[in-house]
């Protein structure tokens, strides 16, 4: 029987709808429309079965901890009763089996003291999506009637920044937009005092390339390098930036388990509101049904999911899973070919370099050379 590489992170789509209409959203605005046929909310029976399946998987593989991310849509639209039931059953099923790290990714507009009281009780941390200052954020993240969402997001962030709530504040998620000045975006994000910032490249493929796509001039690399230089050169560590931290760790010989960089297999799986099990949502940028597995938590355990050939292929591990031209690249161990969704082409599937390949090469080379030079100089001074 095929060896099972266990999952360690579950993205739980506890709700389908959203109260914003972000025009760069991979759920509602790209190739896949499967959300239309799924229930608006995860019902209690589905939540119960999901929790039991996660506990079963953790017990079988003797996992010390599991990570669970509540996602949507906007998860807070599920309401406190549904969310509390999900949190309660997850903690109950996993008690005595594995430590349970639960977080929630929100647009921040619906956060209020009652939500934070619930999250304190269950130890849930909150990540907020924010693309910069008002102008930058409102370029894409607007309400369904076209109004600004920035004031409402700011109100939620002010609650998270209070001393009594800081432990719940996980960080910020920012989608790169070349139309926004990188220095201004970074300053606006820092003003929110995040512990961590995640920068995401816009989901794109060779069929539908990202705005401003230009492999000769690598604008996405240059945008991120401007922020990297400010962040790296700061007299003190202002925040953690996961993309940069991961590239630095890999440059110095470390191992990182990430779907964006590096060659380690992904340990993430998604469960939709109807209990169906899917591959990471980013694949919905490729084509209708790209993330589907045909399995669900009622009929399939997670070992069965992990053995499914499409899941094995999508999780990937090692350079041999990448396009031939990537395998010989000098930064392949660091870049890892980038996010799988970004490699898609309608005629060749995923057997291609990333549509961001040139940008990733420039970015990873810049960070690697900068860090290795500094470490080498430090060692020479110490010898």
Neighbour-count burial for 334-352, b at 16+ CB within 10 Å, e otherwise: bbbbbbbbbbbeeeeebeb
pLDDT for position 145: 83
Q: What does the domain layout of the chain look like in residue ranges?
A: 9-330+334-343
Nearest C-alpha neighbor of 58 from the set 100, 86, 104: 100
CA-wise closest residue to 159 among 95, 202, 115, 103: 115
Mean pLDDT of 312-333: 89
Condensed to tens digits (0 to 9), the pLDDT of residues 15-61 reads 999 888 788 776 766 677 887 889 999 999 999 999 999 999 999 99
Helix (H) or strand (E) holding 382: helix 357-382
In the sheet with 240-241, reading across from the earlier edge strand, the strands are: 240-241, 196-200, 169-175, 125-129, 99-106, 65-71, 9-13, 268-271, 276-278, 292-296
- 65 backbone dihedrals φ, ψ, rounded to 5°: -150, 155
Question: Residue 109: which pLDDT band, with cuts at 50, 70 and 90?
Answer: very high
175 or 20: which leads in pLDDT: 175
Residue length, the chain?
383
The answer, yes or no, to whether residue 98 has pLDDT greater than 90, is yes
Q: How many Å is the Cα radius of gyration of the chain?
A: 20
- In this prediction the pTM is 0.95
Query: For residue 101, is pLDDT > 70?
Result: yes
The per-residue pLDDT for 338 is: 93
The DSSP 8-state label assigned to residue 161 in this structure reads H
pLDDT at residue 44, rounded to an integer = 98
Task: Give SS3 for 326.
Answer: helix
Confidence of residue 2 (pLDDT cuts 50, 70, 90): low
pLDDT in tens, 332-378: 999 999 999 999 999 999 999 999 999 999 999 999 999 999 999 99
H helices within 29-149, ranges in order? 44-60, 80-94, 113-122, 134-138
Residue 350 contacts residue 326 (beta carbons within 8 Å):
no
Average pLDDT over residues 151-180: 98
pLDDT tens, position by position, 306-319: 999 999 999 887 78
Render pLDDT for 359-371 as a digit per residue (tens, 0 to 9). 999 999 999 999 9
Mean pLDDT of 244-261: 92
| pLDDT on residue 259 | 86
Query: In which band, very low, low, confident or very high, does the pLDDT at 1 lie, cut at 50, 70 and 90?
Result: low
CA–CA distance, 153 with 139 (Å, rounded to integer): 14
Structural class in CATH, domain 9-330+334-343: alpha beta
Residue 133's contacts (CB-CB under 8 Å, 6 or more residues apart) are 150, 184, 185, 188
**Residue 256 — very low, low, confident or very high, per pLDDT cuts 50/70/90?**
confident
Name which of 27-41, 121-135, 186-200, 292-306 the model is least confident about: 27-41
Q: Which helix (H) or strand (E) holds 184?
A: helix 182-190
Distance (Å, whole) CA 56 – CA 306 = 14
| Residue 30, pLDDT score | 64
In whole numbers, what is the pLDDT of the chain averaged over residues?
94
């Amino acid at each position: 029987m095929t060896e099972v590489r266990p999952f360690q992170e579950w993205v739980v789509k506890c709700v389908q709808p959203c109260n914003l209409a972000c025009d760069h959203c991979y759920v509602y605005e790209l190739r896949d429309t499967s959300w239309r046929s799924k229930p608006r909310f995860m019902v209690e029976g589905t939540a119960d079965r999901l929790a039991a399946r996660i506990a079963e998987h953790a017990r079988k593989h003797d996992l010390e901890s599991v990570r669970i991310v509540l996602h949507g849509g906007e998860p807070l639209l599920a309401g406190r009763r549904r969310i509390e039931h999900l949190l309660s059953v997850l903690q109950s099923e996993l008690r005595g089996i594995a430590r349970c790290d639960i977080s929630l990714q929100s647009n921040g507009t619906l956060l209020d003291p009652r939500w934070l009281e619930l999250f304190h009780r269950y130890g849930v941390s909150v990540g907020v999506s924010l693309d910069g200052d008002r102008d930058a954020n409102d370029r894409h993240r607007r309400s369904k009637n076209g109004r600004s969402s920035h004031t409402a997001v700011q109100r939620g962030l002010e609650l998270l920044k209070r001393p009594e709530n800081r432990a719940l504040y996980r960080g910020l998620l920012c989608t790169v937009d070349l139309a926004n000045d990188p220095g201004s975006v970074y300053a606006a994000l820092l003003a929110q005092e995040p512990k961590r910032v995640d920068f995401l490249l816009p989901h794109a493929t060779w069929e539908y390339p990202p705005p401003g796509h230009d492999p000769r001039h690598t604008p996405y690399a240059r945008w991120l390098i401007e922020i990297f230089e400010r962040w790296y050169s700061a007299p003190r560590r202002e925040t953690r930036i996961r993309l940069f931290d991961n590239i630095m760790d890999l440059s110095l010989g470390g191992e990182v388990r990430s779907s964006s960089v590096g060659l380690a297999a992904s340990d993430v799986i998604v469960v939709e509101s109807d209990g169906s099990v899917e591959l990471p949502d980013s694949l919905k940028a490729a084509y209708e049904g790209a993330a589907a597995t045909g399995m669900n938590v009622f009929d399939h355990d997670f070992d069965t999911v992990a053995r499914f050939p499409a899941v094995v292929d999508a999780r990937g591990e090692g350079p041999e899973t990448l396009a031939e031209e990537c395998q010989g690249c000098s930064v392949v161990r660091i870049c890892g070919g980038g996010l799988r969704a970004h490699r898609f082409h309608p005629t060749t599937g995923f057997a291609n370099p990333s549509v961001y390949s040139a940008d990733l090469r420039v970015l990873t080379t810049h960070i690697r050379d900068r860090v290795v030079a500094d470490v080498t100089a430090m060692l020479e001074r110490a010898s």
